[in-house]
A and B are shown apart, each in its own frame.
Chain A
Amino acid sequence: MAQIRLDHVSVAFPIYDASSRSLKKRMLGAATGGRIQSESGPSVVQALDDVTLHFQHGDRVGLVGHNGAGKTTLLRVLAGIYEPGNGTVQVDGHIAPLFDIALGMDPESTGYENIVLRGLYLGLSHDEIRERMSEIAEFTELGGFLDLPIRTYSAGMRMRLAFAVSTSIHPDILLLDEGIGAGDAAFLEKANRRLQEFTNRAAIIVLASHSEQLVTQMCPTSVLMEHGRVIRVGDTEDILARYRRRVARGLV
């Protein structure tokens, strides 16, 4: 049974500018009794503040909120990339993250090589990748392009590739961030069908997006986030209406 449980999770980012990253500063700080340090120590951005959420089998959840509300950070916490400073994260199930598609791919390598690389990263073995290669290649509809370095690809083409590999591992939990919009209509339709298959197998999908249409279409439930806090969890319709009101009133 796939499930996600977050308990009072907080994530704070230290912000190092070029000078506080340097050793000189640190040593000067030590030599002057730390005055310099205390005046310009790293600032901390509270990206998630006391977040408690519980998702279970079959949940399709949209994350709604302004830029910087903590949606991406939350997804990265769910993926296990960021370990929170406070609180506990419990995730049962195999996760496939699908975040910023520009990252995590080697632009100089061919499509096929990137499929292997990504597959291995997601925990597949060479044998398993070989088994799925034709299926993945077919799903991407990239044909001869798979032999070219992916620096020649458009954003949409990269998206197809990443999506095809990430979903081919049959994950229990799929984490999607923004970029999913970067496909043409026909591909989105196809991707949606594929996502539908997951839901039928009672997986969890968490989607962060600014596209109200996409969230409404895919997620019956949504989480409204603001300044790293969860404002409300509820019906997507209700949450989106609330979000629009807050935006209109200038609260975010």
Chain B
Amino acid sequence: MDTAPTSRSWLLDQFRAAANRKQFLLALRDLGDGARRWQLWGYMGLHEIRQRYRRSVIGPLWITLSMGITVSALGVLYGAILKVEVAGYLPFLTAGFVIWGLLANLITDGTRVFTAVEGFIRQMPAPLSVHVYRLVWSNLIIFGHNLLVFVAIALWFGLNPGWSALMAVPGLLLLIANGLWLTLLLGLLSARFRDVPLITGSVVQVLFFITPVIWQPEMLPGRPLLLVGNPFYQLLEVVRGPLLGHVPPLETWLVVAVFTVVGWALALLFFTAYRWRLSYWV
């Protein structure tokens, strides 16, 4: 085998060489074919959860239980620190925590979406996007378990969001659409640059603190840019708002829409250029 050093702009050359129409169509086909393999990723996602809780007595209900314990403890503590009424604060905190959990897991797990299954990728041919769908699906299953905690707390405090709760459905769909591109893009970048998962980990942690999950948006006076300009807050709000009984303003939906389109464009660009390199990288 001959080895030879290459020029420093190697990666850029690769990008230019591969960012063409043919590769774009192949990237789109990968996403389409991957979606059609729902039996495969559906099974993998479900199996992953089942596997994790195998031989435990209450199984996946541990997800629900630990979320319940976390929000109860935090709710009482932070309710006292922030001097807010628990009846209003606990449902807010629970909804926020549950939705943030989904978003944060998608991002952090997304960085490992391809590297964690390198054996499969190099063993059997399948659309790469299968792994993206699998990851989003298994996180939605976890989200479903966590949502039970919110339902229980909403019932306990007699919270009735009314019809506006239905708006949580399009909100969740938008969140999923963003989860898909985030996973695809971060998974791709992480396969090539092994620092990305580490950077992402700390970014997500910071985002958790600057996004109103534990604290309420009203508690931050005079800094609307920090809220409006934070797409993760807006993503959180399109699901949390309806669950708590108020539909978010148009502005929120617009920011989320722009974030979705820009994110997908970016992810598609990278997927077009680097999709075929991925099996060499993992």
Partner-B contacts on A (CB < 8 A) = 13-16, 18, 21-24, 26, 29, 34, 37-38, 40-47, 68, 76, 79-83, 95, 97, 99-100, 102-106, 108-109, 113, 116-118, 120-123, 125-126, 227-228
Interface residues of B in 37-62 (CB under 8 A from A): 37, 39-40, 43-44, 47, 51, 54
Structural contact, B123 and A99, CB atoms closer than 8 A: yes
Structural contact, A46 and B1, CB atoms closer than 8 A: yes
Asked if B29 is an interface residue, CB under 8 A from chain A, the answer is no
* The 9 residue pairs across chains A and B that have the minimum distance between CB atoms: A104-B123, A37-B8, A103-B119, A83-B276, A38-B8, A120-B40, A80-B125, A103-B123, A23-B195
Structural contact, A21 and B194, CB atoms closer than 8 A: yes
Structural contact, B193 and A21, CB atoms closer than 8 A: yes
Q: Which residues from chain A contact B199 at a C-beta distance below 8 Å?
A: 23
Structural contact, A122 and B124, CB atoms closer than 8 A: yes
Structural contact, B3 and A117, CB atoms closer than 8 A: no
- The residue from B1, B54, B195 contacting A22, defined by CB atoms under 8 A apart: B195
Structural contact, A125 and B39, CB atoms closer than 8 A: yes
Q: Which residues from chain A contact B6 at a C-beta distance below 8 Å?
A: 14, 41-44
Q: Which residues from chain B contact A68 at a C-beta distance below 8 Å?
A: 1
Q: Which residues from chain B contact A118 at a C-beta distance below 8 Å?
A: 124
Structural contact, A103 and B120, CB atoms closer than 8 A: yes
- The residue from B8, B122, B281 contacting A76, defined by CB atoms under 8 A apart: B122
Structural contact, B124 and A227, CB atoms closer than 8 A: no
Structural contact, A81 and B125, CB atoms closer than 8 A: yes
- The residue from A26, A29, A45, A95 contacting B1, defined by CB atoms under 8 A apart: A45
Asked if B163 is an interface residue, CB under 8 A from chain A, the answer is no
Structural contact, B194 and A43, CB atoms closer than 8 A: no
Given known A104-B119, A120-B40, contact A228–B1 (CB-CB < 8 A)? yes
Structural contact, A95 and B8, CB atoms closer than 8 A: no
Interface residues of B in 1-53 (CB under 8 A from A): 1-10, 37, 39-40, 43-44, 47, 51
Structural contact, A23 and B43, CB atoms closer than 8 A: no
Which of B4, B40, B119 counts the most A-chain CB atoms under 10 A from its CB?
A: B40
Structural contact, A97 and B3, CB atoms closer than 8 A: no
Q: Which residues from chain A contact B2 at a C-beta distance below 8 Å?
A: 45-46, 227
Structural contact, A43 and B126, CB atoms closer than 8 A: no
Structural contact, A47 and B1, CB atoms closer than 8 A: yes
B126 to A, closest residue via Cβ? A121
A-B contact pairs, 16 of them (CB 8 A): A14-B280, A15-B3, A22-B193, A43-B6, A45-B2, A46-B3, A81-B122, A81-B279, A99-B123, A100-B122, A104-B124, A108-B51, A108-B54, A109-B51, A120-B39, A227-B1
Q: Which residues from chain A contact B7 at a C-beta distance below 8 Å?
A: 38, 41
Number of residues on chain B facing chain A (CB within 8 A):
36
Asked if B172 is an interface residue, CB under 8 A from chain A, the answer is no
A37–B121 CA distance with the chains assembled, in angstroms:
29
Which of A15, A41, A68, A99 counts the most B-chain CB atoms under 10 A from its CB?
A: A41
A15–B5 CA distance with the chains assembled, in angstroms:
10
Structural contact, B1 and A109, CB atoms closer than 8 A: no
Structural contact, B4 and A44, CB atoms closer than 8 A: yes
Q: Which residues from chain B contact A116 at a C-beta distance below 8 Å?
A: 43
Q: Which residues from chain A contact B54 at a C-beta distance below 8 Å?
A: 108
Asked if B145 is an interface residue, CB under 8 A from chain A, the answer is no
Q: Which residues from chain B contact A103 at a C-beta distance below 8 Å?
A: 119-120, 122-123
Flag B180-218 by CB within 8 Å of A: 1 or 0 each.
000000000000111110010000000000000000000
Given known A13-B280, A82-B279, A116-B43, contact A121–B124 (CB-CB < 8 A)? yes
A103–B279 CA distance with the chains assembled, in angstroms:
14
Structural contact, A41 and B8, CB atoms closer than 8 A: yes
Quote the shortest CB–CB distance from A10 to chain B (angstroms).
12
A71–B209 CA distance with the chains assembled, in angstroms:
52
Structural contact, B125 and A97, CB atoms closer than 8 A: yes
Quote the shortest CB–CB distance from A42 to chain B (angstroms).
6
Structural contact, A29 and B8, CB atoms closer than 8 A: yes
Q: Which residues from chain A contact B47 at a C-beta distance below 8 Å?
A: 106, 109, 113, 117
Q: Which residues from chain A contact B10 at a C-beta distance below 8 Å?
A: 14, 41-42
Quote the shortest CB–CB distance from B169 to chain A (angstroms).
28
Interface residues of B in 118-135 (CB under 8 A from A): 119-126
